[in-house]
C-alpha cells in the first residue's frame, strides 16, 4: 500500500514509524477502505473524537496499515452524527463502530447492528461519555440490561451461558454458546465488563502524566502501551529518544513478550490437563519477573518506559546477568519444547483444535500472534519497524495451520527469536544517555505510536490540546480484531475444547474494554 | 461375633477417616512430581473443616432431592467402603452385597448426583450430568467384566470369598487377572474423575465432568460430596488392592494378623497413590469424545481377561 495511491492528500507524520495522516470526506471514507483492502492493507483502529471545544463537531478517525506504512484518515462530521459504515469491507470495524456509538453517540450509517457494545447501563443510551459536555465521573454503576443475543433454533439446540463470573479467578466476559450435544454451533461474546473510562481519564492528563495511565491500560502489555504512548508523544514533540533508550525499550519489550509467552505456554499445557507444563513454565516466568524486579524495579516493568526514553539503565554486571539468564532460558525451553512436541496426548489436544484458516484470517483481519499462526505474516517489528528493530532484521514466526498447535509453535518460535534479539541488544548497547525530555508539544497536533506487543500491534493515537494537555487519546489493543475471530475459530469444536482454544488466543479484557 | 462386629465398625470408621488422607497423599505426590512443594497431606481435612464451618447456600429452586443427595451419596460410599474387605475377610457385613451389588451401590450415588445437578436446572449441572452418564454407562459394564474374572477363579461373586481365595490359595499365576487389572485401572481413572478422563483440579467450568455436578453445592453439602469422592477413590483403590495384590490381608479376626494387615494395607495404598499420581502427571486430558474409546479399551481388556481365564484355566 502506497500512501500516494490512496489519492487523498496525506502528509507524513513526524515520528519513529512511517505514518501518514490526512483529512477526507464521507465519499472517500469507504472508497479508501476498499482501496486499502485491495492493496493488502488492514484496519488497525477506528475511533472518534469530540472537537466541540475547538469550535468543530465530532470527527471520525481510522488507521490502516500495510507492509512498511501506516495511514490515518480523519473525517470531520460537522453537525452530522453519522458516517459511512466500514464493516462490509473491514469486518473488524463492526465492534469498534458500536463502541464509538456507545462512547460518542456517532452512528455508522447503514450498520444493522445497533446493540451496545461497551455500554452496560452505566449511562443511558442517549448519553455519550466521551463528549466534552459529559462530566468526568458522570457515569453511574453498570447494571444488567437486556441484550439481544442472536437466537439459534432447531432440533436439539441447547444454550449455555458462561460468565461473566467464572468458576476460576479470571477476567469477566460473557460467552453464549449454542450447542448440539457437545458440538458448538455458534458462540457469541459479550464484553465491556471491565470498562473503566480510561479514554475519558486521559483527557484530564498532560502528556507527562498520561504515561502512567498508558502503562496501566493492560498490565500484561505495559511496556508495549508505554512505548506506543511515548512514541506518539515524541512524534508530536518532534524529539528522538537516545539510541541507548530505544535499545533498552526493545530489550524490555522482548522481556515482556518472553514472560507472557512462557506464562501462556504453561497455561496451555494446564488447560489440556498437563499440569507439569504449567509448573515448569511458571517457574521460568517467575525467575524472569524477579530479575525484572531487581534490575528494572518492577516485576511487570511498569513505568520504566517514559516519553523521551527510559527510566532505567544497565551496568556491565547486569548485562552479564541477562546474558546468563538468556542461556539458561534457552536450554530450559528447548527441553520443555521437546516434551510438548513428543507428548502424544498433548498434541492430540492441540492439533486441529480451533482452526482459523488463512483465508478467514485475511477476511476478518486477524492480527498479531494469532494472525501469524494463520499465515498473516505481519509483524510490526518487521513490517513497520521503529528504531532499533529496523537494524535487528527480526524474523517473524509464521505458521499456516491456524490451530492451537500453530499458536503454540508461534509462541515457541517467538521466544527463541526474542532471546536472539535480547543477545544482540545486550552485545551492542550504544551511548550513555537514557532520556531526552520531550519539552513542550505543539497545540492541536496529531501523533501515533505503534509497537508489536506480545499479542499483536499495540496502537496509540494522540490528539494534543492546548498547553501540553491531551485532547483525545485512543489506545487500541489487537484483541479488538481477534475477539470476533475466536467466535469463528470454535465453530464445530466441542464445548470442553473452548477453554483451550480461548487460551491459545489469550485476548485482553482490560485493553479491549478500556 | 461381638468382636467381629467391633472390628467391622472400627474398620469402617478407619476407612472413612482415612479417605481424605489418601486423596491428600495423591495430591502431595502430584505436587512433588511437578516440582511443587504441595499443600501437605492434611489439606483435605482442612478443606473439610472449613466447609463444615460455613453456612450452606442452596439454589432457590432446589428441591428436597438436591439437599438429600449429599447424604445419600456419602451414605452409599460408606456402605461400599464397609463391604470391601480391606483388613479382614469374612466380616459380618460382607455377605450383604456381592460385587454386582457393589457396582449398584456406586451407581446409586451417581444417579442421585446427576438428578440433583439437573434439579437446579443450571446449564453446567445439566452438562455435567450428561457427561457423567456417558462415562458411567461405558465404565459400569467394564467394571462388571473386570469382576467376572476373579469371580470365576473363586467360583463366587462375594468379594470376601474372592479375596480369601486369591490370598490363601496355593500360589498360582492367573494370566487373566493381568488383563483384568489393567482394565480395572482404566475404569478407576474414569470413575474417579482423574486425568486423562477428567481433571479434578480444573477451574474451567466448560471442561468439567465431575466438578460441574457439584458447582452449586456449598458448605456441609459440598464437604459431604468431597468426602464421598475421597471415599470413592479409596474404595476403588482398596478393591484393586484386594483383587490384584491381596497378600497380607487377615484371614480372621485375630489381633496380630490385623496389625500386619493394616501395615500391609498402608504400604500398598502409599504405593498405589504414588503410582496414580505418576500416571496423572505423565498424561494430558483426553478430548471428551476419546473417553468412549478409552473405556471401550477397558471393556475389551476385561473381556480378554475373562477369555484368557476360560481358555487357560476353564477346563481345570
Under an 8 A CB cutoff, do A162 and B290 touch?
Answer: no
Chain A residues 343-362 within an 8 A CB cutoff of chain B: 343, 345-346, 348-349
Of A162, A280, A343, the CB nearest to B205: A162
Q: A297 CA to chain B: closest CA distance, Å?
A: 27
Under an 8 A CB cutoff, do A279 and B36 touch?
Answer: yes
**Helices and strands counted in chain B (H then E):** 11, 0
- Please answer whether residues B96 and B250 qualify as being in contact, where contact means their C-beta atoms are separated by less than 8 angstroms: no
pLDDT of residue A168: 80
Q: In 3D, which of B304, B291, B278 has the Cα closest to residue A276? A: B278
CATH code at A3-109: 3.30.460.80
Q: What is the DSSP string of A192-234?
A: -TT---HHHHHTT-BTTTHHHHHTTSSGGGHHHHHHHHHHHHH
Under an 8 A CB cutoff, do B289 and A283 touch?
Answer: no
- Please answer whether residues A482 and A367 qualify as being in contact, where contact means their C-beta atoms are separated by less than 8 angstroms: yes
Q: B195 CA to chain A: closest CA distance, Å?
A: 7
Mutate: best of A157, A161, A336, A345, partner B, most B CBs <10 A: A345
Locate the chain B residue with the closest alpha carbon to A277.
B34
Q: Is A269 on the interface with B (CB under 8 A)?
A: yes
ipTM value = 0.86
Of B201, B205, B290, the CB nearest to A166: B205
Q: Give SS3 for A47.
A: strand
B75 Cβ contact partners less than 8 Å away, ≥ 6 residues apart: none
pLDDT of residue A8: 66
Under an 8 A CB cutoff, do B204 and A168 touch?
Answer: yes
Mutate: best of B197, B215, B285, partner A, most A CBs <10 A: B285
- What angle do the packed helices B64-83 and B99-119 form, to 10 degrees? 160
Under an 8 A CB cutoff, do B127 and A343 touch?
Answer: no
pLDDT of residue A7: 57
CA distance A458 to A481: 12
Structural domain spans, chain B: 2-313
pLDDT of residue A301: 94
This prediction's pTM: 0.91
Helices (H), A62-122: 93-104
Q: In 3D, which of A134, A141, A182, A174 has the Cα closest to residue A158? A: A182
pLDDT of residue B140: 93
Q: Is A137 on the interface with B (CB under 8 A)?
A: no
Q: In 3D, which of B137, B172, B139, B141 has the Cα closest to residue B154? A: B172
CATH of A198-513, one of 1.10.730.10, 3.30.450.20, 3.30.465.10, 1.10.645.10: 1.10.645.10
Structural domain spans, chain A: 3-109, 198-513
pLDDT of residue A4: 59
Q: A167 CA to chain B: closest CA distance, Å?
A: 6
Q: String of b and e for B141-151 (b: at least 16 CB within 10 Å)? A: bbbbbbbbbbb
B115 CA to centre of own chain? 20
Locate the chain A residue with the closest alpha carbon to B121.
A160
CA distance A470 to A209: 10
Q: How do the pLDDT tens digits run along chain B, 316 residues long?
A: 688 888 888 889 999 999 999 999 999 999 999 988 999 999 999 999 999 999 999 888 889 999 999 999 999 999 999 888 888 887 788 788 889 999 999 999 999 999 999 988 888 888 899 899 999 999 999 999 999 999 998 888 888 888 888 888 877 788 889 999 999 999 999 999 888 888 888 888 888 888 888 888 999 999 999 999 999 999 999 999 988 988 888 777 677 888 888 899 999 999 999 999 999 999 988 888 889 999 999 999 999 999 999 898 765 5
Q: What is the largest CA-CA distance in chain B?
A: 62
**Which portions of chain A are predicted below pLDDT 50?**
none
Under an 8 A CB cutoff, do A496 and B287 touch?
Answer: yes
Mutate: best of A184, A339, A496, partner B, most B CBs <10 A: A496
pLDDT, tens digit (0-9, with 9 covering 90-100), for A156-206:
898 989 989 888 888 899 999 999 988 999 999 999 999 999 999 999 999
CA distance A288 to A301: 11
pLDDT of residue B253: 66
CA distance B296 to A410: 36
Q: Is A293 on the interface with B (CB under 8 A)?
A: no
pLDDT, tens digit (0-9, with 9 covering 90-100), for A349-370:
999 999 999 999 999 999 999 9
Residue found under cell 511487570: A300
Amino acid at each position: 500500500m502506497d500512501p500516494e495511491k490512496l489519492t487523498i492528500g496525506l502528509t507524513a507524520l513526524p515520528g519513529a514509524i512511517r505514518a501518514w495522516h490526512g483529512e477526507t470526506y464521507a465519499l472517500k471514507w469507504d472508497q479508501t477502505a476498499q482501496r486499502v483492502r485491495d492493496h493488502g492493507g488492514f484496519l488497525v483502529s477506528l475511533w472518534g473524537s469530540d472537537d466541540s471545544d475547538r469550535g468543530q463537531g465530532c470527527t471520525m478517525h481510522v488507521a490502516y496499515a500495510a507492509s512498511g506504512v501506516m495511514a490515518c484518515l480523519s473525517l470531520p462530521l460537522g453537525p452530522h452524527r453519522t458516517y459511512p459504515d466500514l464493516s462490509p469491507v473491514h469486518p473488524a470495524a463492526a465492534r469498534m463502530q458500536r463502541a464509538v456509538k456507545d462512547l460518542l453517540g456517532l452512528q455508522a450509517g447503514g450498520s444493522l447492528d445497533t446493540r451496545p457494545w461497551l455500554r452496560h447501563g452505566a449511562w443511558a443510551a442517549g448519553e455519550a461519555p466521551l463528549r466534552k459536555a459529559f462530566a468526568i465521573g458522570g457515569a453511574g454503576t453498570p447494571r444488567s440490561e437486556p441484550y439481544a443475543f442472536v437466537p439459534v433454533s432447531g432440533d436439539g439446540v441447547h444454550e449455555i451461558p458462561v460468565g461473566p463470573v467464572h468458576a476460576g479467578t479470571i477476567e469477566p466476559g460473557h460467552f453464549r454458546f449454542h450447542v448440539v450435544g457437545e458440538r458448538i454451533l455458534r458462540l457469541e461474546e459479550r464484553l465491556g465488563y471491565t470498562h473503566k473510562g480510561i479514554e475519558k481519564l486521559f483527557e484530564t492528563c498532560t502528556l507527562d502524566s498520561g504515561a502512567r495511565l498508558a502503562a496501566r491500560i493492560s498490565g500484561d502489555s505495559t511496556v508495549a502501551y508505554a512505548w506506543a504512548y511515548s512514541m506518539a508523544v515524541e512524534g508530536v514533540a518532534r524529539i528522538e529518544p537516545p539510541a541507548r533508550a530505544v535499545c533498552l525499550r526493545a530489550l524490555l519489550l522482548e522481556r515482556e513478550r518472553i514472560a507472557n509467552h512462557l506464562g501462556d505456554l504453561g497455561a496451555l499445557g494446564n488447560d489440556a490437563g498437563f499440569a507439569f507444563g504449567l509448573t515448569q513454565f511458571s517457574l521460568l516466568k517467575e525467575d524472569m519477573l524477579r530479575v525484572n524486579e531487581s534490575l528494572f524495579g518492577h516485576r511487570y516493568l511498569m513505568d520504566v518506559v517514559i516519553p523521551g526514553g527510559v527510566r532505567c539503565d544497565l551496568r556491565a554486571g547486569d548485562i552479564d546477568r541477562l546474558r546468563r539468564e538468556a542461556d539458561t532460558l534457552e536450554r530450559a525451553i528447548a527441553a520443555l519444547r521437546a516434551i510438548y512436541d513428543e507428548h502424544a496426548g498433548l498434541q492430540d489436544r492441540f492439533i486441529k483444535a480451533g482452526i482459523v484458516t488463512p483465508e478467514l484470517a485475511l477476511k476478518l483481519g486477524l492480527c498479531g500472534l494469532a494472525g501469524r499462526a494463520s499465515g498473516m505474516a505481519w509483524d510490526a517489528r518487521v513490517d513497520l519497524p521503529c528504531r532499533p528493530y529496523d537494524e535487528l532484521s527480526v524474523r517473524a514466526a509464521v505458521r499456516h495451520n491456524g490451530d492451537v498447535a500453530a499458536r503454540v509453535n508461534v509462541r515457541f518460535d517467538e521466544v527463541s527469536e526474542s532471546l536472539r534479539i535480547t543477545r544482540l541488544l545486550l552485545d551492542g548497547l550504544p551511548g550513555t544517555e537514557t532520556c531526552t525530555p520531550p519539552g513542550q508539544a505543539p497545540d492541536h497536533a496529531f501523533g501515533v505510536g505503534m509497537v508489536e506487543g506480545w499479542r499483536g500491534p499495540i496502537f496509540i493515537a494522540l490528539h494534543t490540546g492546548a498547553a501540553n494537555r491531551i485532547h483525545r487519546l485512543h489506545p487500541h489493543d489487537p484483541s479488538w480484531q481477534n475477539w470476533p475471530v475466536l467466535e469463528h475459530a470454535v465453530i464445530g469444536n466441542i464445548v470442553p475444547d473452548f477453554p483451550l482454544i480461548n487460551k491459545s488466543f489469550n485476548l485482553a479484557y482490560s485493553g479491549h474494554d478500556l | 461375633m461381638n468382636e467381629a462386629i467391633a472390628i467391622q465398625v472400627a474398620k469402617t470408621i478407619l476407612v472413612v477417616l482415612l479417605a481424605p488422607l489418601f486423596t491428600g497423599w495423591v495430591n502431595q505426590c502430584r505436587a512433588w512430581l511437578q516440582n511443587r512443594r504441595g499443600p501437605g497431606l492434611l489439606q483435605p481435612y482442612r478443606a473439610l473443616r472449613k466447609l463444615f464451618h460455613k453456612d450452606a447456600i442452596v439454589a432457590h429452586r432446589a428441591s428436597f432431592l438436591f439437599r438429600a443427595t449429599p447424604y445419600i451419596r456419602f451414605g452409599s460410599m460408606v456402605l461400599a467402603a464397609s463391604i470391601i474387605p480391606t483388613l479382614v475377610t469374612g466380616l459380618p457385613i460382607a455377605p450383604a452385597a456381592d460385587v454386582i451389588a457393589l457396582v449398584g451401590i456406586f451407581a446409586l450415588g451417581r444417579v442421585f448426583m446427576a438428578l440433583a445437578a439437573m434439579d437446579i436446572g443450571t446449564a453446567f449441572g445439566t452438562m455435567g450430568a450428561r457427561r457423567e452418564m456417558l462415562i458411567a454407562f461405558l465404565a459400569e459394564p467394564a467394571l462388571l467384566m473386570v469382576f467376572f474374572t476373579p469371580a470365576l477363579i473363586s467360583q463366587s461373586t462375594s468379594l470376601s470369598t474372592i479375596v480369601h481365595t486369591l490370598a490363601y490359595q496355593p500360589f498360582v499365576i492367573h494370566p487373566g487377572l493381568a488383563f483384568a487389572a489393567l482394565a480395572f485401572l482404566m475404569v478407576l481413572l474414569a470413575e474417579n474423575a482423574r486425568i486423562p478422563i477428567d481433571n479434578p483440579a480444573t477451574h474451567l467450568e466448560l471442561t468439567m465432568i465431575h466438578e460441574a455436578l457439584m458447582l452449586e453445592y456449598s458448605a456441609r453439602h459440598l464437604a459431604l460430596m468431597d468426602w464421598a469422592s475421597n471415599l470413592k477413590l479409596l474404595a476403588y483403590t482398596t478393591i484393586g488392592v484386594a483383587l490384584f495384590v491381596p497378600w497380607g490381608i487377615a484371614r480372621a479376626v485375630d489381633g496380630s494378623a490385623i496389625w500386619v494387615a493394616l501395615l500391609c494395607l498402608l504400604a500398598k495404598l502409599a504405593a498405589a497413590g504414588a503410582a496414580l499420581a505418576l500416571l496423572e502427571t505423565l498424561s494430558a486430558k483426553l478430548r471428551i469424545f476419546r473417553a468412549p474409546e478409552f473405556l471401550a479399551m477397558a471393556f475389551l481388556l476385561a473381556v480378554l481377561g475373562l477369555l484368557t481365564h476360560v481358555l487357560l484355566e476353564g477346563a481345570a
